Chains A and B, each alone.
Chain A
């Protein structure tokens, strides 16, 4: 083991900022990261063991002990539950002979839950040793486990030919389907790599920024910051080295559009990063991809190599003196919070994905302290189209305050889950029609951190001034128990994914979950609802968007579906002291044949 860890360390020149890669590669070699490896890595990087451990223990795909030769990570998103996850779970446990969270006695199979893996359009889905298995059924599960036990390799278990497009290619060989259902300017397959780069070599960086500003495009990752302005800030920031980071962490449950772009249009994305690099004066780019998409690694590396060969990356791009830009791929290791831009930077530096205090913003001090632009995959792809066709052209799509198109990820109770590129200004009703959602009870717009709306709001419009969204829409049918199946699932997600730094985010989310559980168990009282409404605003003082929105599922369901709470609380009392002495001693009183001591009978 020592030698293979050393090889990994050499590969990254024992650079502590590459600790993520070192740990990922070590785990690939050894299967987990044992104590001895931690000590070896610490020594070689000149950091302490607890330093290695603090990164290692932050990410849920890292293992500190043997976790099974075959590690099954079954997605626990709400849509997986809708499509029969419970039965699939049971089938796995029965076939493997161990429970979730455990390893089978022979060490062959480990079963684990994991947050949304970006396959909401083909649930239930699981990762087995980084290979994606979609649309699982108990039958398929039994087949898979049988084949594993028979000694087959994981690559040989996928259903050949199930995946479409690049998914079927030799380097991906995955059964994932793209489910592209509506194409617009960004997803347009008629794209020719290099045209935008050719065009910008005739423009100054300032002109490029001007064109982006003219288009009025805003970030597609959710926060909606004007992209042109971000690039301009970074251009003007002091710094010899600058960086472009592309955010492909895509962790918001129900979002999977970046997966499809990475699969089908990586060339467009790389060109977008190079355009951004030219505009801000950065020569290095990092594509930060969530661990769940490692099945795309060889494909992405291959396209990168090919793009370099075509001189669309590397030195003197398009023959232009001084236009140098190259990209490396950084994988995460399982942590939703790493989608937050400053956490993403921390993680890319090999650290825990804890968001930073702002100011300073990444455009002033980002990756390794240098001015950095962090942009979503779709933002960068859109930028290429803006450069090709002009900002004015781009403004012809969408609404006045929200220009252009948005790639939506639609999933849940509808006939046609998948991705849809629509102009901003679509109403929720349009989307329900388009996707064949017959009996919607509610729609979760923007993922768990977004808003839960009911039918009386289905005429609302997708745009930055009404329903702003990173593009996730989860449709919840009439047959679902909204609080139990959906709101609780989202709340669990935030409890699981908080980085743990801010007190309210770490602690109050747990307290809210307890309250919700109490209500679901039929013990809630009116005061519990009032408490949550009263405490909610304290979450707004958390450092980052995760904590600020972590109780949104509860608060927005109280606001829009209050009757569901009212129906479940106790009507006989409006307040509860938290402890019922009578109830607590009832059983022991029964056992010893005594009456509980109460004020009425204590004089008897």
Chain B
């Protein structure tokens, strides 16, 4: 195996190393520093749409999930300003959709909920929009609940059929945008694909039918430890 070229950068004052071409987010994790993210997922092409991983690169806001490290880069992430903006984004996601955690199959495994806990969002500063959104259970294997969808595009980016065609796609634009499932291709959705879709979804917008609460509440991923602790233990007073 060839060794990738090692380059150096500074993250929140800490000297870090990265492989050439590595994204800031991944390089930070490799150095034991957690940069919060939501629309990003290992193994899927990054998209930079939730903006939560925004850091300042040489003073300019950039998404850590899509920006490769460059030798000598100076990155700020854990600052009061950026953390408050992350919190604002989480709050916006909460008010633009309808998120009722106690009734959600995903509670405890939900990345949005976990981030909201970790960022200690109590009451959003924005007015709840309570949009009227529908729930589509027409597919034999998958329920699509638009109330919970945060439009991260992970299902679009991560799930294709054998010919490389999209099963999921965006419809419309702006605040009217929503996820649609191909009527033709989804008819032959396999159990594995449905499970994959559910696993890819960071929230409870895609739920497999006829199977639920595999892991009881209380024993789920973020019930045990806060999000991000796979990379970095939160400090006591955080």
Report which A residues bind B (CB closer than 8 A). 39, 46-51, 53-54, 57-58, 335, 337, 352, 357, 359, 495-504, 506-511, 514, 531, 535, 537-538, 540-543, 578
Contacts and interface: CB of A to CB of B under 8 A. Distances in A.
Q: Among B166, B169, B181, which residue has the most Cβ atoms of chain A within 10 A?
A: B169
Nearest to A498: B174
A53 B51 contact: no
22 contacts: A48-B165, A48-B166, A50-B181, A51-B182, A54-B166, A57-B172, A58-B172, A58-B173, A357-B66, A501-B153, A502-B49, A503-B50, A503-B52, A503-B92, A504-B51, A508-B88, A510-B175, A535-B88, A537-B85, A538-B85, A541-B85, A543-B63
A53 B50 contact: no
Interface stretch (B72-80, B122-130, B136-144, B217-225): B122-130
A293 to B, nearest CB: 21
A500 B174 contact: yes
B180 interface: yes
Contacts of A507: 92-93, 95-96, 175
Nearest to B47: A357
Contact of B180 (A50, A500, A509, A514): A50
Contacts of A543: 48-49, 51, 63
A357 B48 contact: yes
Nearest to A579: B127
Contacts of A509: 175
A499 B173 contact: yes
B49 A501 contact: yes
Contacts of B177: 500, 506
A499 B88 CA distance: 20
Given A504-B92, A510-B129, A359 B67 contact: yes
B199 to A, nearest CB: 20
A496 B177 CA distance: 11
B51 A499 contact: no
A541 B51 contact: yes
Contact of B170 (A46, A496, A500): A500
Nearest to B152: A503
B184 A48 contact: yes
Given A359-B68, A511-B126, A498 B92 contact: no
B158 interface: no
Contacts of B174: 495-500, 506
Instruction: Select the residue from A46, A54, A58 with max chain B CB neighbours within 10 A.
Output: A54
Given A500-B176, A503-B93, A540-B61, A49 B183 contact: yes
A288 to B, nearest CB: 18
Tell which of A51, A497, A503 has the most Cβ of chain B within 10 Å: A503
B200 to A, nearest CB: 16
B9 interface: no
Contacts of B151: 500-501, 506
A497 B177 CA distance: 12
B116 to A, nearest CB: 14
Contacts of B150: 503
Given A500-B176, A504-B92, A511-B95, 5 more contacts: A48-B167, A50-B168, A50-B181, A500-B170, A541-B54
B171 interface: yes
Contact of B169 (A51, A541, A542): A51
A520 to B, nearest CB: 16
A580 to B, nearest CB: 14
B46 interface: yes
A507 B185 CA distance: 31
Contacts of B214: none
From DSSP, what is the main secondary structure of chain A's interface residues?
A: helix
B230 interface: no
Given A49-B183, A504-B89, A357 B175 contact: no
Residue picked from B85, B125, B170, B181, most chain A C-beta under 10 Å: B170
Contacts of A50: 166-169, 171, 180-183
Contacts of B210: none
B238 interface: no
A510 B61 CA distance: 22
A503 B171 contact: no
Given A500-B173, A531-B125, A51 B165 contact: yes
Shortest 5 CB-CB distances between A and B: which pairs? A500-B177, A50-B169, A54-B169, A357-B66, A48-B165
Contacts of B67: 357, 359
B192 interface: no
Contacts of B88: 504, 508, 535, 538
A47 B127 contact: no
Contacts of A359: 67-68
Contacts of B51: 502-504, 541-543
B130 to A, nearest CB: 13
Contacts of B169: 48, 50-51, 53-54
A506 B48 contact: no
Contacts of B173: 57-58, 335, 337, 352, 498-500
Contacts of A54: 166, 169-171, 180
A11 B105 CA distance: 49
A514 B128 CA distance: 11
Contacts of A537: 81, 85
Interface string B14-58: 000000000000000000000000000000001111111010000
A72 to B, nearest CB: 22
A335 B126 CA distance: 28
A39 B185 CA distance: 12
Contacts of B81: 537
A49 B96 CA distance: 28
B49 A53 contact: no
B114 to A, nearest CB: 17
Contact of B127 (A49, A57, A511): A511
A492 to B, nearest CB: 11
